[in-house]
Amino acid sequence: MTSTVKDIIEAKRRAGESAFLWLTHTGICALYDREEDSYDSGTPVRRWELDPIEREQIIETGLVDGVGAGEENALAASLYQTIKGICSQEIQGGSPTDPALFNRITAQLVAAGIEVDQVMTAAARAESPNIVTVFTEWPDEQAYIEIVGDEVDVYPYEAGEVLAELVTFSQIQDYYNDPPITLEDLADLRHLERDGLKFYDESDINSLSEAKTTERKGRREELRNMTLVLPDEFLALCEGVDETPAAVLQGFIADLCHLEESPYITNGSDERLFAEEYFDRCGYRARAEWAREEAEKTCGSSRGAHGEKKQ
């Protein structure tokens, strides 16, 4: 028994009971975490190339779970490993909006022996800003490579269709307003231009929205607990009405924000009205609106580049 066969036996033992060992007629041996991973484009945990003697030896061990029928799977696994390796190397540390990025990846794929269809690639790129290229997966079967964020995926390219939903900045403002997405947020996203409008892949917008939501949650958690050094005048005021400083502050917050769950319980409708009036008279909202208007003026030319007017 060769050292390679011994290595396979040990690898499967370590992989556990659910591991699936698959062997082709040509001697390619692939180990998967689960049988399901050996289907379609699943990537093996380990892969070996065996000579005829080693192939017979591993069969005799009784550890092989599948033989012959999945030869295409192993070839596909190797193909997809090559694709993802090249794509991942190029997108790390580079600018996602670099117009030459996808062309560099395509050139490397061609150099690696992958058959790229330039005509289909041009057609697919016109449908989504995240399409790298279209290549021949099997005879008479094409697939396209898509990069969203740092994720590289391969999908069948059937009837010239790609799986992408495109949205404009106006649509983004309508459907992704909590938290809002600004033009500055879109600066690092790839896009298509049609009739003067910029179109973004909704997958990118979903990822961006989730990231902003997570960031906001973290920021609020940092601000949630705070320590105040209260002046004697305020403490005396609270003592005079037999209330704790915490109760007074919580009551004001409840009125301002219309809260009704302990310990934040509003004192009534008039109190809510007066709390809001006090908040507005202090100028917090006015200053924030002014800052936003100034920001809108600054990026007005950028909005024009999106071909959209302020609603």
Domain end residue (candidates: 54, 69, 84): 69
End position of a domain, from candidates 14, 38, 69: 69
Residues 6+ apart with CB under 8 A from 140: none
Number of structural domains the chain divides into: 3
* 128/164 Cα distance (integer angstroms): 6
Helix/strand/coil for 222: helix
pLDDT in tens, 247-283: 999 999 999 999 999 999 999 999 999 999 999 999 9
Q: How would you class 222 by CB atoms within 10 Å of its CB: exposed for 0-12, middle for 13-18, buried for 19 or more?
A: exposed
Residue 22 is inside which H or E element, if any?
Answer: strand 20-23
Determine phi and psi for 31, rounding to 5 degrees. Answer: -110, 125
96 plus 219 within the same structural domain: no
Q: Is the preceding peptide bond at 139 cis, omega within 30 degrees of 0?
A: no
Structure tokens of 205?
Answer: 């917008």
Closest listed residue to residue 191, CA positions, set 203, 182, 209: 203
Q: Is residue 192 within a helix (H) or strand (E), and if so which, with residue range?
A: strand 192-194
Could you tell me which residues are beta bridge partners of residue 265?
260
Cα(176)–Cα(153) distance, rounded to whole angstroms?
Answer: 25
Order of strands, edge to edge, in the sheet holding 141-148? Answer: 131-138, 141-148, 151-156
Q: What's the token pair of residue 168?
A: 């404009």
- Residue 236: exposure state from Cβ atoms within 10 A (0-12, 13-18, ≥19): exposed
Residue 136 pLDDT exceeds 50: yes
Note whether 52 and 139 are same-domain residues.
no
Residues 135 and 56 in one domain: no
* Dihedrals phi, psi of 193, to nearest 5 degrees: -120, 130
- Of the candidates 178, 186, 129, the one whose C-alpha atom is nearest the C-alpha of residue 306 is 186
Query: What does the alpha-carbon distance between residue 260 and residue 254 come to, in Å, rounded to a whole number?
Result: 7
Q: Quote the pLDDT of residue 311.
A: 39
Range(s) of the domain holding residue 194:
167-223+287-305
Q: How far apart are CA 130 and CA 128, in angstroms?
A: 5
Tens-digit pLDDT profile for residues 159-196: 888 989 999 999 999 999 899 998 889 988 999 999 99
Stretch 134-155: mean pLDDT:
88
Residues 83 and 37 in one domain: no
If one compares 177 and 75, the residue with the highest pLDDT of the two is 177
Q: Is the peptide bond before 179 cis (omega within 30 degrees of 0)?
A: yes
In a domain, 154, yes or no: yes
Task: Note whether 137 and 125 are same-domain residues.
Answer: yes
Q: What mean pLDDT comes out for the span 146-165?
A: 89
Confidence of residue 310 (pLDDT cuts 50, 70, 90): very low
Cα gap 156→159, rounded to integer Å:
10
Residue pair 155/143 in contact by the 8 Å Cβ criterion: yes
Say whether both 193 and 299 belong to one domain: yes
**Per-residue model confidence as pLDDT tens digits over 44-72:** 888 888 888 998 899 999 999 887 645 45
- pLDDT (tens digit per residue) in 209-219: 999 999 999 99
Pair (82, 152) in one structural domain: yes
- 202: tokens are 């909704």
pLDDT one-digit tens code per residue, 80-90 = 888 989 999 88
Q: Picking from 49-53, 89-93, 306-310, which range would have the lowest pLDDT averaged per residue?
A: 306-310
Are 159 and 177 part of one and the same domain? no
**Residue 63 maps to a domain:** yes
Question: Is residue 183, in this structure, part of any structural domain at all?
Answer: yes
| CA distances (Å), origin 176, targets 173, 210, 242 | 6, 10, 46
The pLDDT assigned to 160 comes to 84
Q: Of 69, 86, 102, which residue is a domain's last?
A: 69
Average pLDDT, the chain: 88
Any idea what the Cα angle at residue 133 is, between residues 132 and 135, rounded to 5°? 145
d(CA 71, CA 86): 23
The rounded distance, in Å, linking the Cα atoms of 305 and 193 is: 10
Q: What is the C-alpha R_g of the chain?
A: 30
pLDDT tens-place string over residues 224-254? 999 999 999 999 999 999 999 999 999 999 9
Is the same domain home to 214 and 301?
A: yes
